[in-house]
Amino acid sequence: MKVKTEHQFAAALKAMMEEKPLDEISVISLCKKIRVNRQTFYYHFHDIYDLLTLVFLDEKIKDIDKTKTFKEMISCIFLYYKSNQKFLDAAISSAGKDLFLELLYNSCYQSIMRFLGEYEISKVIGNQSKKNIARFYASAYSNSLLYYFANFKGITLNGLIDFFAFMEEPDLAANMQNLLKYHRNFK
């Protein structure tokens, strides 16, 4: 029963954010929407941002785990954004922006770690070095994607892919090769 109530609140919040900004949604209006009292909300959550955290923890970017290239990764993220645009725009224009950024970062990081594992050289460099490279790229991609979603409402998938055209997969292999050379020079 507890899980069901939490997810009812999450679905209600997401639906309401498609209609209005987060700062215009009250606990009372959420409770009215799912027909429970305020105490029920506070039994499960501290505040609306706590609930929004649950919403983003439950969000999944379809097929992101199947991507093999940056272009496919960007395409999945773009399609996710487009299918949830009103909700995500409401999150971006609120303190919930950081939660969306975290979803983007984690999705990019997992994808890039998978991409790195495909290179032969990744067997030679340590796991910590791969994580450093993945963190760098995930941060660049997630922050840039958030910037574009926040500032360019008419952006197309091709426009977004063109923006990232300077970052190609061979750069990952080159970065790992440079890291390996660096470590060899200091041994």
CATH code at 2-55: 1.10.10
pTM over 0.75: yes
- Listed by start position, the domains of the chain span 2-55, 61-185
Q: Look at residue 74 in the predicted model and tell me its pLDDT.
A: 95
Burial of 176 (0-12, 13-18, 19+ CB in 10 A): buried
pLDDT tens for each residue of the chain, 187 residues long: 444 899 999 999 999 999 999 999 999 999 999 999 999 999 999 999 999 999 999 999 999 999 998 899 999 999 999 999 999 999 999 989 999 999 999 999 999 999 888 877 767 778 888 898 899 989 999 999 999 999 988 889 998 888 877 666 556 666 666 666 665 655 5
Q: Read off the amino acid at residue 30.
A: L
